[in-house]
Amino acid sequence: MSVHGNELIYDKDFQKDVHRLPSEIQDKLAELIDILRGDPFAPLLHTKPLSAPLQGIFSFRIMRDWRVGFKFSAQHVIQLLAADRRDKIYKRLLRKL
């Protein structure tokens, strides 16, 4: 973890996704983004590296059925790519490659 935390970049798709999320999911996501900024691998996030063909992309859990896809653009720079239901996000991330 860096002393100042990680810089976050919000992809346009991610920003649109957040506005579409149910309000309780938005509230939980706001809490988790603060944790992500400090430590992207904090246990509360349940961060996982994705396997091929999504290598280099990670996901973290908002709630049981909701995920956020992100990648490291540079050291201490995290780009948030998409937020969606677990059954949809991985297909959406594939289209972003």
The DSSP-derived string for 23-41 is: HHHHHHHHHHHHHHHH-TT
Which amino acid appears at position 96 of this protein? K
The residue-averaged pLDDT of 61-87 equals 97
Q: Report which secondary-structure segment, H or E, holds 48.
A: strand 48-49
Q: Cα(41)–Cα(23) distance, rounded to whole angstroms?
A: 25
Per residue in 81-95, pLDDT tens? 999 999 999 999 999
CA-closest candidate to residue 8, choices 63, 55, 72: 72
- Domain positions in the chain are 7-96
Q: Cα(28)–Cα(47) distance, rounded to whole angstroms?
A: 15
Res 3: pLDDT: 53
Fold for the domain defined by 7-96: YaeB-like fold (3.30.2310)
Per residue in 25-64, pLDDT tens? 999 999 999 999 999 999 999 999 999 999 999 999 999 9
Q: Cα(16)–Cα(38) distance, rounded to whole angstroms?
A: 24
